[in-house]
Structure 1
Amino acid sequence: MSKINLDNKTILKHIGNTIKKIRTMQNLSQKKLGEKCNIAESQLGKYERGQLNFTISTLNSIISALNIDFYTFNDLMRTDYYAESYKNDDELNNAAELVKQCGILVSIENDIVKMQCNNYIINLSREKFYNWVNQVSILTNEYTHNLSYTIIRSEFLKLQ
């Protein structure tokens, strides 16, 4: 993967866009997310627009309130950055391989990603494919977190 050099303003906007995308995919308003991480709605809006600098602590509070970990956030942010620029072929192939591991056939022709599972065929642009992969990644992380929590508590109770 090539090195990306971005200025601070661009980085802030990119982090903010990623927060907004995850928040809206989870059907959270700025007010609701702000309540979860103890940040005023107006301040959260400034973060999302890249108009206000983050402390690491603040960013961590927002990420935690979105029920994802930092590594997942970073992966989604990076994936989203490449989706905006329609990604390079290596990144496209990596995303396609992930989907193929789930038993979905994937073929790529020019700027169209064709997915097939049983008799269902879906054709998506590269951008829509990446957005879909992002959304599925967030949902997968949420379900994994909830399932892990339940299993750990269950196993803990068995120790008594």
Structure 2
Amino acid sequence: MKAGDDQEILRKFGDNLKRIRKRKGFSLRALSYECSIDFSDIGKIERGQTNITLLTIMQLAKALEIPAEDLFKWEN
């Protein structure tokens, strides 16, 4: 994949995470507390500024009480 494609994927993932977080009623700080990830790092994920690990994805999904694959379900 090209670098632009990578950025687009990170942005879509982040947008989807933010949408799910808000739908579940979590603030950044509340989600941070639930998954032990610094709230500023979650903000970077939501803005597509960082590439995260599988373990981070699993932490987020567990805290949001969703299957991890839901974090990858966005509209093109």
- Normalising by structure 1, what TM-score? 0.43
Q: Give the aligned partner of residue 40 of structure 1.
A: 38
Corresponding residue SS for 2:48: coil
What is the Cα deviation at residue 73 of structure 1? 3.2
Q: Point out the structure with the larger helix share.
A: 2
Give RMSD over aligned pairs.
Answer: 1.4
Structure 1 portions without partners, runs of 5+: 1-5, 83-160
What is the Cα deviation at residue 14 of structure 1? 0.6
Using CA pairs under 8 Å that are at least 6 residues apart, name the structure with larger relative contact order, 1 or 2.
Answer: 2
What is the Cα deviation at residue 71 of structure 1? 3.0
Per-residue CA deviations over 1:99-147 (Å, capped at 9, x if unaligned) read: xxxxxxxxxxxxxxxxxxxxxxxxxxxxxxxxxxxxxxxxxxxxxxxxx
Q: Give the aligned partner of residue 65 of structure 2.
A: 67
What is the CA–CA distance in structure 2 between the aligned matches of 1:38 and 1:11, rounded to whole Å? 24
Paired residues in the alignment total 73
The yes-or-no answer on 1:23 pairing with 2:4 is: no
Q: Point out the structure with the larger strand share.
A: 1
Corresponding residue SS for 1:7: helix
What is the Cα deviation at residue 63 of structure 1? 1.3
- Divergent runs of 4+, >6 A: none
What is the CA–CA distance in structure 1 between the aligned matches of 2:61 and 2:52, rounded to whole Å? 12
Structure 2 portions without partners, runs of 5+: none
- Normalising by structure 2, what TM-score? 0.86
